Structure 1
Amino acid sequence: MTDTEVTSIDFFDPGTALDALIGDWRDLGEYLSTTPGFRAARLHRALEPDTRFTVTDYTLWDSAETAAGALDHPRREAWLDRLGDGIHRGTAVYRTVHDIGPATEREFDGPGVTFMNVFEIAPDAADAFAVGWDTRARFMSTAPGFRHARLHRALDATATFQLVNIAHWDTVAQWRDALDRPTMVAARAQARTVATANPAVYELIAEILGPAA
């Protein structure tokens, strides 16, 4: 990860149109992977049906400028117009503000699962919240099955979702066990007093890698 790298994140709720969304996403992603600054794109599906965003994607770019150019591309805008607001729930570009790796270096066994928590929070409260997130994430990193966690902050202060946590775990059970530890139960309750959380566990369903990934 470089100092200029950013992540664009899309939020979807495709309902019964999931297969069509995946196909169109692949076609668009293959095209965008040829544009300057593209590094990798990953599409995820929620494991639980009652998730606010049943599908999300995140794409890594070399810089905010290359991300903006791709996100404003007419081909992408035409695709989003076809989807409509009922399926596409928003996009924002983020910079990583906290990056926590595994407690010990080890080989990962299997694809694992992705935990994402999308936070609605006032921009002026995001800095203090991020400090608390770092403390919670470092505690979580000591649990079995933890792989990696990053907290992303929106570049645009008007974005609905100012902070997004993306973490990777070996299994759903290990993530739940870590979350249910008393220290985390108390910490999460405190966090909910300043931010609205939209947590979910996802599986990877499509991936496109660029030449620099």
Structure 2
Amino acid sequence: MREPYFSIINIDVEKDKQAEYMEKWETAAAIMSAEPGFVRTHVFQALSDDAKYRLVQIAEWTSRSHWQAAMNVCPMMGQEIALVDDDGYGVIRTVGERTAENPATI
């Protein structure tokens, strides 16, 4: 059974450096998406200028071990454009869209 792993990265980047950061992120995402165990990633941008973090990235991997292996080739390691706070999480509950085939219950 698959045990997904989620890397949640809070990104503290100055507004005038965000475009530069995202350019490097796009390059890194292309590399990382080819790594074994990669599922998907999303980057969220704060809707408020008062947010603690301007960007948040959530990456899904098939396992923590796949994510750990991929960190050996991640070109974003050591970047100096932004401060990042990276934590990993495993799924303990999921609720999906309610459909006839999937009547979600809590």
Name the TM tier (shorter chain): 0.7 to 0.9
Normalised by the length of structure 2, the TM-score is 0.82
CA offsets per residue over residues 21-43 of structure 1, 9 Å max, x none?
Answer: xxxxxxxxxxxxxxxxxxxxxxx
Shift of 1:134: 1.2
1-structure distance, mates of 2:10, 2:55: 6
The aligned counterpart of 1:203 is: 90
Confirm or deny that 1:123 pairs with 2:15. yes
- Secondary structure of the equivalent of 1:208? coil
Confirm or deny that 1:178 pairs with 2:75. no
Shift of 1:111: 3.5
2-structure distance, mates of 1:137, 1:187: 9
Q: Is the 8 A contact 2:25 2:76 kept in 1?
A: no
CA offsets per residue over residues 101-132 of structure 1, 9 Å max, x none?
Answer: xxxxxxxx614111111111112221221121
1:187 to 41, 63, 76: 76
Higher relative contact order (CA 8 A, sep 6+): 2
2-structure distance, mates of 1:154, 1:207: 24
1-structure distance, mates of 2:95, 2:66: 28
> Between Structure 1 and Structure 2, which shows a larger proportion of strand residues?
1
Confirm or deny that 1:168 pairs with 2:55. no
1:86-105 matches, within 5 Å, as none
- Secondary structure of the equivalent of 2:34? coil
Where do 5+ consecutive residues of structure 2 fail to align? 100-106
> Between Structure 1 and Structure 2, which shows a larger proportion of helix residues?
1
Confirm or deny that 1:158 pairs with 2:45. no
CA offsets per residue over residues 74-124 of structure 1, 9 Å max, x none?
Answer: xxxxxxxxxxxxxxxxxxxxxxxxxxxxxxxxxxx6141111111111122
The aligned counterpart of 2:102 is: none
The aligned counterpart of 1:147 is: 39
- Report the residue type matching 2:76 in the other structure: A
Q: Is the 8 A contact 1:148 1:167 kept in 2?
A: yes
Structure 1 pair 175–141 and aligned structure 2 pair: CA distance change class (3 A): same
- Secondary structure of the equivalent of 2:78? helix
Normalised by the length of structure 1, the TM-score is 0.43
Where do 5+ consecutive residues of structure 1 fail to align? 1-108
Shift of 1:170: 1.0
Larger Rg: 1
1-structure distance, mates of 2:26, 2:43: 8
